[in-house]
Amino acid sequence: MSESSDDSSGPPVAEVKKKGKTTTIIVFCFVFIIAWMPLVISITGVGDVDTMSYSMYSDGYNGCSQLRNTLQGTGGFEVHPLISSLSVVNGINRNSVLCVLGPTLDFSIIEASALIDFFVSGSCLIIADDFGSGNRILDNLALLIPPQYFPSEPFGFTLRSAVRFEQRLLLDAGSNDDGKPLLPAITSFNDGGAIFQTTQRVVMNYATGIQGIGGNFTVIATSSPNSWVTSDWNNPAYDPERGDTAGPFTLIGVLSVANGLIVLVSDPSIFINDMIDRADNRSFALELFTYLAEQTNTNTIIIDHNHLSWSPLSPVLYVGLVMGQITYLSTNWLLAPLAPIMAIWMVRKWVTFGRPKEEEPSEVYRLRGQTAFRAELNRYLQSEQYDDAIQVMYTQLKRELVRRHSLRGFDISRLLAARSGSLPERELSLLKDDLEALEKATGARRRIDRSKFLDLFWRIKRIREKY
């Protein structure tokens, strides 16, 4: 009996400690390898980022270096790569045009949640995809945005985007390049010249279609009536008995989301080096980015590289892997408050500190890093005094506008007159509406609810950032 009791008493303490030490060594080795891998690969020259499809640094036939040169040279834009999470777009403190070309890797729901703030600020997104993971961005947004603001449809026990890429091969016998249905050609645009002034013909290569319509989805270009989509790449001739679907199909569309836009292009090959000089493809790219930059009032274009299919020997893969996780923790509204707690827990777990001397902090220390304005605003928000909170915020905004535009006291008409030479009529009208709404809300001195407060808050934010 005693032997049986000894056998069931569990492993010795020394064995448990040994297992804990082994786990620690494995964890540190993994972190060390991931952290140093980009440097080692770069120094040894094993990995090569200049051959990646849709990379703006690739000079190969399927790279996008010519697109980058056109945007930077002719367009005069600042073009930057994004090698971590899409969440980083909200950390640059300015509006931008984000472009996702031929995505291969999946998109997380956390990245989609970051895009909501991106659109609220008025930024724009281009998704150029055919058979990749572009639909995952749309589906994640459909889960997060109410149906009245984003077209969605039931899908099992959840929702998915009602506007999506077909992901079947598009052929067009009625409008193509060099008589090849696999090279569909766009010859007309339904934008009234607002986007494309000189572009008359755009050639695509192994494209797909865009299905679905919505109240805030606008079709810009379609295939001819003699087009179809098929899943059979080996025998693409039209055959309705195997499920082929006849056209026309949407090839380019614009989806309005909050204050921003999503442009869907059903073929990323339009932008690659091998295709950009065919027909008016280069003009198409330049006019599309220029239009979105004007709508966003920005000079910054960000091209997503994180969701491309990087080689295991590419340093970008490991940099993106590390930076992506850091970005998740630091920029997402849900996870960011937990990041300091996790960092402190990890430091205290692996590093031993002496117990600090406990002191009673003074009132000045409690307010360190927090101005009196923010303290007063937080007090109002915590007590749900939204009318007082807006009053404080609007008062500060008026001071900023007076100082920024050298006005003699705040007056809406004076401010509009000062900006009339630098803003288009539509922007002036929007600025006037925002200011009048704030004047009405603060002048009446009546209590406002949370919904009204949020509306006024976004108006103040828009005025501060754009005007």
Domain boundaries, the chain: 17-46, 50-322, 363-466
pLDDT of 115 higher than 80: yes
User: CA–CA separation, 55 vs 67, rounded Å?
Assistant: 10
pLDDT of residue 16: 46
User: Taking residues 77-81, what's their average pLDDT?
Assistant: 92
Encode pLDDT of 289-325 as tens digits.
Answer: 999 999 999 999 999 988 876 555 555 555 555 555 5
User: CA–CA separation, 33 vs 321, rounded Å?
Assistant: 12
pLDDT of residue 432: 84
Confidence of residue 152 (pLDDT cuts 50, 70, 90): very high
Q: Which residue has the tokens 């697109």?
A: 67
- Per the prediction, the chain carries an average pLDDT of 80
Structure tokens at 390: 């807006």
Find out whether 282 and 196 touch, Cβ atoms under 8 Å.
no
The answer regarding whether domain 50-322 maps to CATH 3.40.50 reads yes
pTM over 0.75: no
Quick one: what percent of the chain has pLDDT higher than 90?
A: 40
pLDDT of residue 2: 44
Encode pLDDT of 329-384 as tens digits.
Answer: 555 555 566 666 766 766 666 554 444 444 333 343 344 444 666 676 677 777 77
Cis, peptide link before residue 248, omega less than 30° from 0: yes
Phi-psi region of 206 (alpha: psi -120 to 50; beta: other; left: phi over 0): left
